[in-house]
Structure 1
C-alpha cells in the first residue's frame, strides 16, 4: 500500500533519492562523513530535474543496512538509493549482502561497469564487491546501487572518465540510471549533458 503523504512529489518528474553512508567510525562521530556530501554535490551538479534527498549515516551492520534500504523505498518512496562504503573484502564490509537481502532482482551490470572504471586507476578495483538491485513492492520500485567510499571515486564512477577535451572515454554508470528508472515506472529524469549525458534508445527519448 502506498504511503500517500510521504510519497508525494513536488513535481511529476521529481526524483526522490536516498543516500546512505555506511561507516562505523563516521556514524560514531570519530570523523566527519564524506560520502553523503560527495553524493549530494555531484547529484546537484548533474540533475536538471527536481530532486529531493533523504540521508542516512549508519554503521556497518548488515541488518541495519537492509532495514535502511527498505525504509527509504517502502516508507519514503525513493526511486533511487545510493550507498557508499562497506563493499570491500574486510569482514565488516557487508553492504553488498545487505543490499541483496533488500532486493528482489539483481542488476549486475552496474557493479561490472564500476569495476571497469576503477581498474583504470588501481588494480585493487577487482577487490570491490559493489552490486545493484531492484527493490519491488506493490505500486513502487527503487533502484539501489552500491558506490565506492572515496569522494573522488564516487564522482568517477557516476560521471565516467573524460579526456582533456571533455569527450567520454569510459561511460559513467549514471548514464543508464534515468532510463532504468523509467523502465520500472519512475519519473523521467534529465541531466546537464556537460556533466553526464543520459542514454536512451531513440524510441524512448523524452522531452
Structure 2
C-alpha cells in the first residue's frame, strides 16, 4: 500500500525564503523509505493560524492526503500556533500519537515537555504535528512510524479495527 502524504512546514522565516527547510527533507526521506509514502503536496506557510488552517484543509480535502505531517510551530513562542490551527480543522483528536512522541523525546531531553504538538483526524486524513528541528522530526516520527500503516488502514477503511 502506498500512502498519500502531505508535508506542511510552518515557519515565518522559511516562508520568506530566509531559512532552508531541512525538517521537511527529513520527513520526506522517512516517509518514502520507512512508510512507503508518496508526497502529494508540500508547502511552507508563515506562523499564521488562518494560513495553516487553509493549507491543512486543502491538503486533506482537495489532495486527499491519508497523512499530513506538519513541522514547526509547536513550542511556547507566541507565534507557535500550529496546534491551535490543527485543532480548528480536525473532527476528532488522536492524542496517543502526540503522547507517544513526547514520551519518546523525554527519554532524550527534558525540554520535550515544552512541545504542544497535537494529532487529529479530518475526514479520512490523519494530521500529526512534529517539531521544527530535523532531529526532533526524526525522533518524533520514529516513535510512531511503525503504527502509522495500521492506523491509516483503519482510518481509510482498508482494514477493520482489532
CA distance in 1, matches of 2:92, 2:81: 18
Match of 1:162 in 2: none
Match of 1:134 in 2: 121
Work out whether 1:153 is the aligned partner of 2:141. Answer: no
Larger radius of gyration: 1
- Contact 2:68 2:125 (C-alpha < 8 Å) held by counterparts: yes
Match of 1:36 in 2: 24
Match of 2:150 in 1: 179
Match of 1:124 in 2: 111
1:102 CA displacement: 0.8
The correspondence of residues 2-81 of structure 1 with structure 2, limited to 5 A, is 13-47=1-35, 49=36, 51-81=38-68
CA separation of 1:186 and 1:16: change in aligned 2, threshold 3 A: farther
CA distance in 2, matches of 1:41, 1:56: 16
What is the CA RMSD across the aligned residues, in angstroms?
Answer: 1.7
Q: Normalising by structure 1, what TM-score?
A: 0.73
State the structure with bigger RCO (CA 8 A, min sep 6), 1 or 2. 2
Match of 1:91 in 2: 78
- Contact 2:14 2:21 (C-alpha < 8 Å) held by counterparts: yes
CA distance in 2, matches of 1:148, 1:42: 15
CA separation of 1:54 and 1:186: change in aligned 2, threshold 3 A: farther
The 3-state SS of whatever aligns with 2:29 is helix
- Contact 1:15 1:187 (C-alpha < 8 Å) held by counterparts: no
CA distance in 2, matches of 1:174, 1:51: 15
1:51 CA displacement: 2.3
Structure 1: unaligned runs, 5 residues or longer: 1-12, 160-171, 189-200
CA separation of 1:56 and 1:50: change in aligned 2, threshold 3 A: closer
Aligned residues: 161
Structure 1 stretches of at least 4 aligned residues deviating more than 3 Å after TM superposition: none
Work out whether 1:112 is the aligned partner of 2:99. Answer: yes
- Contact 1:79 1:186 (C-alpha < 8 Å) held by counterparts: no
1:50 CA displacement: 5.7
